[in-house]
Amino acid sequence: MDLGLRNELSKQGVFTTTLEEIYNWGRKNSVWPLSFGLACCAIEMIAASMARWDLARFGAEVFRPSPRQADLMIVAGTVTKKMAPQVVRLYNQMPEPKYVIAMGACAISGGPFKQGYNVLKGIDRYLPVDVHIPGCPPRPEALLHAFMRLQQKIDEQALTGPQRPRHLVAEAPSEFTVPQFGEHDLVPSKNPAVWHPPVAGRPQEA
């Protein structure tokens, strides 16, 4: 609809919208996170949900104890290799559309523990992460910022066309490979369908 006409109509008291807008508006304001925390970042996540930072302002105060009712997985904390299969399994159990925020240095890269034998070097090796938050731990404001970025992302999703989100593409995978415990490491140690290590070098001028 033409923006001028729309403004004119709203001055006359006629509210117009599109299905896409109202659908995304509804979704972005009721993103229910899965209530689970893995380490100290979870304390900041809890603080963000309490009265002082008040995640309820974004419609996300309803932390769900079941993955079946959750829309958002906040991976808050160190993902150990022993925990990683369970995290992926929980993600697989969530219904589409679903989103992932990787919160903190550990969840995005392994953080201070990345040279250890037992810590996964970032949950993005197994899951498609929508927003990464650096910090050790990130302040609740940083989580709110990530949340607003996610809302922006949801708001900008087109429901039709080739750019439509994954949950509207029938062939797109909704489940991801759960790694198995191997003799020396997780098998596979990364999911090549999800994670591509960046190629070294400077970006070429187009």
Partner 1 sequence: MQLSLDQIKAQIEAAVPGAQMTLVQNGSPSGQHSLLVDKEHALAVAHYLRDGPGLRLDYASNVAGVDWPDTVVKEIVRTKGVVDGMEREFEESVERKRLGYLEAVYHLYSMELKHGPVILRLRTADRAGQARVPSLTPVWRGAEFQEREAFDLFGIVFEGHPDLRRILMWDEFKDFPMRKDYVEPDDYEYEPTAHDEVLEKAKRHVSTEGTPQ
Q: Could you say which residues in the range 72-91 bind partner 1, by CB under 8 A?
A: 82
- Decide: is 183 part of the binding site for partner 1 (CB under 8 A): yes
The CB-of-164 to partner 1 minimum distance in angstroms stands at 23
Number of residues located near partner 1, criterion CB under 8 A: 24
Least CB distance to partner 1 at residue 185 (A): 4
Per DSSP, 189 falls in state S
Judged by beta carbon, residue 95 or residue 116, the one nearer partner 1 is 116
C-beta closer to partner 1: residue 109 or 157:
109
Q: Which of 117, 160, 163, 170 binds partner 1 (CB under 8 A)?
A: 117
Question: In this structure, how many other beta carbons lie within 10 angstroms of the beta carbon of residue 166?
Answer: 14
CA distance 42 to 46: 6
Q: Which residues on adjacent β-strands are paired with residue 99?
A: 72
34 touches 73 (CB < 8 A): yes
Sequence letter at residue 64: R
Which secondary-structure segment (H or E) carries 88? helix 84-93
Residues forming contacts to partner 1 in the complex (CB under 8 A) are: 82, 109, 114-118, 121-122, 181-185, 189-190, 197-204
